[in-house]
Each structure stands twice: as C-alpha cells, then as structure tokens.
Structure 1
Amino acid sequence: MNNLSITNVSKTYSNGVRALKNVSLEISAGMFGLLGPNGAGKSSLMRTIATLQEPDGGSVKLGELDVLTQKQEVRKMLGYLPQEFGVYPKISAEVLLDHLAVLKGLTNAGERREVVKALLHKTNLYEARKKNLGGYSGGMKQRFGIAQALLANPKLIIVDEPTAGLDPAERNRFHNVLCEVGENAIVILSTHIVEDVKELCTQMAIINKGEVLLTGSPQEAIKEVQGKIYRKIIYKSELDAYKKEHEVISERLLQGKPVIHIYSEGDPGQGFEPVEAELSDVYFSRIFGDR
C-alpha cells in the first residue's frame, strides 16, 4: 500500500490569507484524522491533496506518483467527498451513480451494474435506489456521497466534515462504512468533531492557523496530558478571573453552571479535582496554546 507524503506545503490566497504554513505529514493505510477548528486550513489541505488547487510550495506524493504534476493518474485512485457537494435532485441514486461510474472509467455495463448495486448495499441505500436524490435526508445524501467516492476502488479517500449535521444513528452508519473502507485504503477524515477521530482513527494530526500542532495516535496524545487535566464547577461571574489565573482549555454547562477544565503540570488546589483525560482535552489544550 502506498503512503501519502506531504512535505512543506504552503498556500496563501490572493486576499492575503495564509491558509497553510509548511505543512508536513506522513499518512499510511487506515483511518487518519485531521482535526482542527473551522478556518484552520483543513479544507485547503484536502483540496490540494485532491488535485483541486495548487500550493505555493512544497510537495505531495502518493507512493511514486507526484500529486501536483500527475493529476490524472492520481484522480484514478482518488475518492473525494467534499464538505458540500451537489446532487441532481430529479435523478435517482441508481441512475446518477451509474453515470458517475462511467465518468470514472467503468465502461463495461455488466460490471458497472454490479459495482453500483454493491455500493448501494454497502451504504444502505439499495431500498431507496429508485428514489430521486432531492427527496433524500441529509444522512442519505452523505451516504450517497460516500458511495460515489468509493467508485473504481480508490486507494486514497478524502472526506471533509462528513458527519456535521447527522443524527446519531446516521453518524454510526457512516462510521461503519468508513471503517470498512479504511481496511484497504488511506482514508483522511477532516473534521472539527473530536469524537469522530477518537472513535475511528489510528493516527491523527491537529492543525490550526495553517500549522500542524501535533501528530500521532489518539491514545498516545491522551497519554501525554494524563494527570494534567483538572476540573471545577464554578459560578459564571468567576469565569473571567479563572481564565486570567489558569490555562482554561474548555468550559461547558452542567445544570446551568460552568464546568471548566484546566491544564496544569501540578495540583492547582482551589477545589480543582483531577479528571481522566480525553482527546478533547488534548485538542483544546493545543488550540488554546496556539492562541
């Protein structure tokens, strides 16, 4: 299986926004999570890998292929599900998938029929195959997106923010499809949803303001902050004072009162209690430290 090697990739848009700053990543087969807040540079990196935009500098290699110069060869091996994709609302899933399969080079009608049927089953859309895509729910459209991304048995699959807006049942269904696919291909999951990465990915990177802040496995990343995360329930009026005194990495409400998590090398006292670290603590501590 080919590795994807991204080396010193940079991109500045014409409006002056530096979307990527010397990004380097080594990605092998399986599920790879690219985690970062909105505007971190994730989509810019995904579009570059998907041959849709040129970087200003750096290189991207898929095995022996140069992604930046051998675009057509790369596209034959690529499945891409962008953050927002359009469907023809008055065409059925079966007909559109068949049409897209032709564009992907599946010209044998019998073989194409079998591939389309198998993908509709895999994405749990076979029963709704005759239904027009305009009548599909958000989750069904996302599953159709994965079906088209899997045409022609790609070696590299990129999915950009795939579970935003899905209900829990749809999210689980989507995860199961991705996991199955990740056994035989490189799957890059670009998301701001920490749970998706924790549940699915063996390797990950955190990106913010166009820079890579961390790479490794989710378990290793959690281990690094274990014993350094403390929590406390406070009053809303105290929040600003705590933020001045401590490295508050996250806050949420519990029965109307803020619960804060702080990062601290030693016991901070003041009624803080140690908590089992989560991947969200790793994520917020890195993003906080990058402010």
Structure 2
Amino acid sequence: MKLIIDNLSKTYDNGVKALQNVSLEIPTGMFGLLGPNGAGKSTLMRIISTLQEADTGSITLGDIDVLKQKNELRQVLGYLPQQFGLYPKISAEVLLNHFAMLKGISNKGERKDLVKALLHKTNLYDVRKQNLKGFSGGMKQRFGIAQALLNNPKLLIVDEPTAGLDPLERNRFYNVLSELGEHTVVILSTHIVDDVKELCTNMAIINQGQVCLKGNPLQILEGLKDKVYKKTIEKSELDLYKQNYQVISEKLFLGKPTIHILSEVNPGNGFSLINAELEDMYFSQIFSNNNFKSN
C-alpha cells in the first residue's frame, strides 16, 4: 500500500504559505519527514490525518481518497501528535481499555487480549497498573503509540515523537517504530536528523512549505560526495569564515568551533575532506542557497 500526496497546498488566513505544491509517494515502511520547526511538517500531518483541510491537491491511501473519505481513512489511521494529553490519575491499562472501547472494540475478551498485547509490544506491561502521572516522557510516548495501534492501522503518523527523550528512551522508541514499519506505512515527522538516520529507508526534507529533497538517505548522500570539508577554528574567526565559505554547520569541540563547509573544489587553508553525513545534507538544504539533488 502507498500513500500518494499530489500538489498539496495550504495557505493560512494570515497569508502564511504552510504548504506549496507538496508531492510525495510513501510506500510501506518507515518514511522520515525532516524539517525545522515551522517548515510545514505538522500542517501536512494534520491534513493527512483529516484534522485540517487543504486548499488544493489530493491524497490517496490505496483506494481511499483521504480528503473526501475522512471516515474511511480514520478507520485505518493511527496518529501520535506532537502534543497529547493523558488522564494522570488513571492507570495505563484502564485508559488503554477505555480507548479501545471508544474505537469500537466491544467484545470484552478481545479487548483484554488486545490491550495486553499492546502493553507488551510497547514494553509497558510491567507498569500497567501505574497511574500515568508517574510515567516518564518516554513511557508516555510509548503509551501514545499503544493507543495509536488499537485499530491495527495501515497508516501510522508520529509527529516529533522523540523530542525531549533521553538516549535510552529514544532507543526503546526506535525499536517499537522499526518493528511497526515492517507492515505499515509509518510517517516519522521530526527535526531530529538521528531519528531518520536510525530508522528510515526513505525520506524527504521540507522547508518553508516546500519539498526540497526526497529519496533514499544513502542515495541522497551521494549528492554531497567529495563536497564537505571541516576545520576547527577560533571563535573570533567564525564570522569571517561565514563570509568567505558556505558554512553549513558548526559545533564546539574542546571549546572551539568546528565548521563544515560545502565546496566543489578543495578549499585548502587547513580544511580536510570528510565523508558527508545525513546531518550535512539536512543543513545544506535548510541553510544553503545551493541544492544538491537526488534522483
């Protein structure tokens, strides 16, 4: 099954063009949607999940017209938004059972088995009796995934799921999503490059409401082969280097900035050629005037 987005556009009443002719083809598996905050990712996710209307364009999931057949889409959709609320004084098991009832699973035995299976899948079974107010951020995110899976979705959307999680919780969340991606169309919307690098076989970068790059991450990186150089400099030199080179990222190393630049030729001047990382490609699209395109 594929999710096909064709020429989707959305302009808000204040004139902000949140989406501009966005077209994507998303197959079964993990698909990463990368972009900075305000790029249009959340608007796109809300439109796909039928929570918001598009101005123009179309979306299909298999034979479902998403923009016209909202109820049909909701029956096969799992959605974990960036922000979601939970009842703090209710246990995970009780609340998940309640959500299952709301989703139409009326048979008590079937519902009990499903809740148990999902609590195991998200590694929450041992804390199923614990009130949600005692859950960590990662545990709440895994509970969010559990409720999103109650209807065995064909399409799962997760919006900024790992923001604020510690490394251990993030890895646990990666494992859950990776398993789901084997049989489901999973869209991972994030500004965290590592999320996409760890999980996704296909991806797109969106900025200012437009798709500026899409494809397989490894193939995309070929566009930067032999074009990324790095150098550690003094803090006082940073502005000068930004004036004279195409600086795409900077990080502190032992208190000094290490910069990555894009250059078609060896710039000399102490720069060393490095193997491009997905982060370099991301920053080259977000902060650079030059686009290195992938087939």
Q: Same fold (TM over 0.5)?
A: yes
Structure 1 unmatched ranges of 5 or more: none
Q: Secondary structure at the match of 1:189?
A: strand
What is residue 131 of structure 2 aligned with on the other side?
A: 132
Over 3 Å counting, the alpha-carbon distance change for 1:189 and 1:155 in structure 2 is same
In 2, Cα distance between equivalents of 1:175 and 1:259: 29
Which amino acid is the alignment partner of residue 272 of structure 2?
Answer: E
Local SS of the residue matching 1:91: coil
Query: How far apart are the structure 2 equivalents of 1:288 and 1:192?
Result: 14
Partner of 1:195: 194
Q: What displacement does 1:224 show?
A: 1.4
* Counterpart secondary structure, 2:38: coil
Tell me how far apart the structure 2 counterparts of residues 76 and 178 of structure 1 sit (CA, whole Å).
20
> Counterparts of 2:84 and 2:24 in 1: how far apart (Å)?
26
Structure 1 residue 33 corresponds to structure 2 residue 36: no
Distance 1:290 1:9 in 2: 24
Per mean C-alpha deviation after superposition, the further-off stretch among 183-192 and 102-111 is: 102-111
- Secondary structure at the counterpart of residue 182 of structure 2: coil
1:283 is aligned to 282
Counterpart amino acid of 1:284? F
Secondary structure class of the residue paired with 1:205: strand
CA distance in 1, matches of 2:150, 2:183: 14
| Alpha-carbon distance in 2 for matches of 1:146, 1:54 | 25
1:80 counterpart residue number? 79
Q: Post-superposition shift, 1:290?
A: 5.0
1:157 matched residue in structure 2:
156
SS at match of 1:113: helix
The equivalent residue for 1:274 is 273
Aligned equivalents of 1:187 and 1:112: distance in 2?
24
1:226-276 CA-to-partner distances (Å, cap 9, x unmatched) read 210000011111111111111100001001100000011110111100011
2-structure distance, mates of 1:145, 1:174? 11
- Aligned to 2:206, what secondary structure does the other structure show? strand
Aligned equivalents of 1:221, 1:85: Cα separation in 2: 33
Please give the secondary structure, in 2, of the residue aligned with 1:270. coil
Aligned partner of 1:260 in structure 2 is 259
Structure 2 residue 58 is matched with structure 1 residue 59: yes
- Matched residue, 1:234: 233
Cα distance in 2 between the residues matched to 1:73 and 1:290: 42
| Partner amino acid, structure 2, of 1:105 | G
Partner Cα separation in structure 2 for residue 21 and residue 204 of structure 1: 18
| Paired position in structure 1 for 2:293 | none
Deviation readout 1:65-119 (Å, 9 max, x if unpaired): 1111110110010000000000011111111111111111211111110000000
The residue aligned with 2:208 is 209
Q: 1:184 to 1:42 in 2, by over 3 A?
A: same
- Shift in Å, 1:289: 2.3
Matches of 1:205 and 1:288 in 2, distance apart?
Answer: 16
For 1:17, give the aligned amino acid. Answer: V
Deviations 1:129-177 (A, max 9, x none): 1111111111110000010011111000000000011111111110000
Partner of 1:173: 172
Q: CA RMSD in A?
A: 0.9
Following superposition of structure 1 onto structure 2, how do residues 85-164 of structure 1 map, counting pairs within 5 Å?
85-164=84-163
Count of residues in correspondence between the two structures? 290
2-structure distance, mates of 1:109, 1:23 = 43
- The offset of 1:17, in angstroms, is 1.2
One-letter amino acid of the counterpart of residue 68, structure 2: T
Tell me what 1:22 maps to. 21
* SS class of match (1:231): strand
Percent sequence identity is: 68
Distance 1:67 1:105 in 2: 21
CA distance in 2, matches of 1:224, 1:107: 53
Q: Which amino acid aligns with 1:135?
A: G
* Aligned-partner Cα distance in 1 for 2:287–2:88: 42
